[in-house]
Copies of this chain bind each other. A is one copy, B any other.
């Protein structure tokens, strides 16, 4: 079950640089892609930037609808994540092909993904660098986490199918939030 997450806590999930999934919906057709290029931009309201290139099938929906969901998979979904990254939504309904369950979001047309431990509903707030670099600036409108997925370990891509999984945690006295 998804539980609402306070928006000021969103950065703690994206700042570590996990591989994420990005969902869109346009004219009743959903899609999902794997995304490696994203970063936080502002704590509150939580804003992030990400790169969706015009070669990605999701690009048209991002442009036309201006909404998406950023969903964070844990290592248990690694094979599904790679499968999503290996094919285009032009050719395949990736939700049914790879056993990902779309769940209606509250604020955007794009679906949440039930198998992911965190889901962020986003709206495009700046597209001025889309043509030059594919950079979309997004604002998170609503955020959800699944408290039943305890201590999720995320994936970090090092190229050519090598993924490093979260290891041990260390705690240091930081003044950074």
Residues on A close to B: CB < 8 A?
A: 9, 11-12, 15-18, 34, 36-42, 47, 49-51, 75, 78-79, 82, 85-86, 126, 128-129, 132-135, 137, 153, 156-177
Contacts and interface: CB of A to CB of B under 8 A. Distances in A.
A129 B49 CA distance: 11
Contacts of A158: 12, 15-16, 169
User: Helix, strand, loop or mixed for chain A's interface?
Assistant: mixed
B41 A40 contact: no
Given A16-B157, A37-B41, A49-B135, 18 more contacts: A11-B159, A15-B157, A16-B156, A16-B158, A17-B17, A41-B135, A78-B170, A79-B172, A82-B172, A86-B176, A129-B129, A129-B137, A135-B135, A159-B177, A163-B170, A163-B171, A163-B172, A165-B167
B167 A172 contact: no
21 contacts: A15-B36, A15-B158, A16-B157, A16-B164, A39-B39, A41-B134, A49-B133, A79-B172, A85-B174, A85-B176, A126-B132, A128-B128, A129-B137, A135-B135, A161-B171, A161-B176, A162-B169, A163-B170, A164-B167, A165-B167, A165-B169
Contact of A167 (B16, B37, B160, B166): B166
Contacts of A128: 128-129
Contacts of A16: 17, 156-158, 164
B39 A37 contact: yes
Nearest to A82: B172
A175 B85 contact: yes
Contacts of A129: 126, 128-129, 135, 137
